[in-house]
């Protein structure tokens, strides 16, 4: 179980987390998404016990996470900037993980190294970016820690390896259900394996829901401008645009639209369409103010 309560983390003058609260009780494959700088890595490092909260709390298995040996043994963090000692071979790194994580599955780790054609005698520092990511993922999953945190696990991987990566994560989760959080910007690809979504924005949780609820959170309405305008005036519109003279489209919250309780003719003129996960993410986290067009028109 993991729980954050009004978790705030400051780095000097920068507030990376700002009253972040959520809880995950049981096994779950959760995607953690957010724009660059939203606070995802800070959240993971705090849950792993590497960072002390400035205020509020981060709890793992009911205990405060910071510098807690019980937490450390139950949480494994895979992060791109992880440094291992110079000259370490894959075999040595695997060995050090297996001594620290009591459930480390060596057979699985070796099987995956074979599958991804990584020679365990090679030095980690000599691997390419994508190979290093693959290796980190292998030892992180093989650790079989009850809380597994994957921060941008696909960094540098080519599309074929990424496809395998998602399959490996999913199969491993099915074999040993546990709390797995994956922070990634590859939303369209991750979507196929996730159960839940946690959207972090400005250091806070903006949305924490089942994947299906996230996928249907926003909806696109198309119709004549006469049919669309009255809705537009009543609801928060995430995007509005005209498709030629006779058709206007707006993006709004599905629930808010349903609560409008439109009747009869009004409903008939509207075409309602779903929105991809990636587009929903963009609409929900878009920057306010002038867009890119404006920058290039001065």
Binding site for ligand ATP (CB under 6 A): 11, 14, 16, 34, 36-42
The nearest distance, CB 16 to ligand ATP, in angstroms, is 3
Which residue's CB is nearer to ligand ATP, number 40 or number 248? 40
Secondary structure element (H or E) that encloses residue 244, with its range: none
The nearest distance, CB 12 to ligand ATP, in angstroms, is 6
The nearest distance, CB 200 to ligand ATP, in angstroms, is 7
Contact between residue 282 and residue 201 where contact means Cβ atoms under 8 Å apart: no
Tracing tokens 């960072």 back to the chain, one arrives at 51
**Contacts of residue 238, Cβ cutoff 8 Å, sequence gap at least 6:** 218, 250, 251, 252, 283, 284, 286
The nearest distance, CB 40 to ligand ATP, in angstroms, is 4
For 43-58, letters b (16+ CB in 10 Å) and e give bbbbbbbbbebeebbb
**Contacts of residue 83, Cβ cutoff 8 Å, sequence gap at least 6:** none
Contact between residue 18 and residue 203 where contact means Cβ atoms under 8 Å apart: yes
The nearest distance, CB 269 to ligand ATP, in angstroms, is 41
The nearest distance, CB 85 to ligand ATP, in angstroms, is 22
Give the C-alpha separation, 249 to 270, whole Å: 9
Which residue's CB is nearer to ligand ATP, number 35 or number 193? 35
Q: Which of 42, 43, 74, 29 is nearest to 182 (CA)?
A: 29
Tracing tokens 């067009």 back to the chain, one arrives at 293
Which residue's CB is nearer to ligand ATP, number 49 or number 223? 49
The nearest distance, CB 247 to ligand ATP, in angstroms, is 36
Which residue's CB is nearer to ligand ATP, number 135 or number 186? 186
Which residue's CB is nearer to ligand ATP, number 105 or number 151? 151
Which residue's CB is nearer to ligand ATP, number 105 or number 152? 152
Which residue's CB is nearer to ligand ATP, number 42 or number 280? 42
The nearest distance, CB 13 to ligand ATP, in angstroms, is 9
Tracing tokens 């507030």 back to the chain, one arrives at 15
Which residue's CB is nearer to ligand ATP, number 50 or number 116? 50
Secondary structure element (H or E) that encloses residue 130, with its range: helix 129-142
| Strand intervals (E) in the chain | 2-11, 14-24, 28-33, 55-60, 63-64, 75-78, 147-151, 179-183, 196-201, 204-210, 218-223, 239-243, 247-253, 271-273
Give the C-alpha separation, 292 to 294, whole Å: 5
């Amino acid at each position: 179980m993991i729980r954050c309560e009004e978790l705030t983390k400051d780095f000097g003058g920068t507030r990376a987390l700002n009253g972040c609260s959520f809880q995950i009780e049981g096994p779950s494959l959760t995607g953690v998404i957010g724009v660059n700088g939203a606070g995802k890595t800070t959240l993971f490092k705090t849950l792993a016990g590497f960072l002390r909260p400035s205020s509020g709390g981060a709890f793992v298995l009911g205990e405060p996470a910071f510098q807690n040996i019980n937490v450390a043994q139950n949480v494994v963090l895979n992060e791109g900037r992880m440094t291992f000692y110079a000259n370490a071979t894959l075999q040595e790194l695997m060995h050090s993980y297996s001594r620290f994580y009591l459930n480390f599955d060596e057979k699985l780790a070796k099987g995956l190294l074979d599958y991804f054609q990584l020679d365990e005698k090679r030095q980690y520092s000599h691997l390419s970016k994508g190979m290093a990511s693959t290796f980190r993922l292998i030892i992180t999953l093989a650790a079989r820690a009850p809380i597994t945190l994957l921060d941008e696990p696909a960094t540098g991987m080519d599309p074929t390896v990424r496809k395998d990566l998602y399959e490996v994560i999913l199969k491993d989760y099915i074999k040993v259900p546990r709390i797995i959080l994956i922070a990634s910007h590859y939303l369209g690809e991750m979507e196929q394996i996730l159960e839940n979504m946690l959207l972090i924005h400005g250091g806070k949780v903006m949305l924490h829901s089942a994947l299906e609820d996230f996928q249907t959170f926003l909806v696109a309405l198309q119709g004549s401008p006469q049919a669309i305008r009255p809705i537009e005036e009543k609801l928060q519109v995430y995007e509005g645009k005209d498709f030629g003279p006779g058709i206007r489209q707006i993006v709004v919250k599905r629930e808010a639209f349903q609560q409008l309780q439109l009747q009869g003719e009004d409903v008939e003129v509207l075409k309602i369409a779903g929105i991809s996960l990636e587009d929903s993410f963009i609409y929900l986290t878009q920057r306010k103010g002038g867009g890119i067009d404006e920058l290039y028109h001065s």
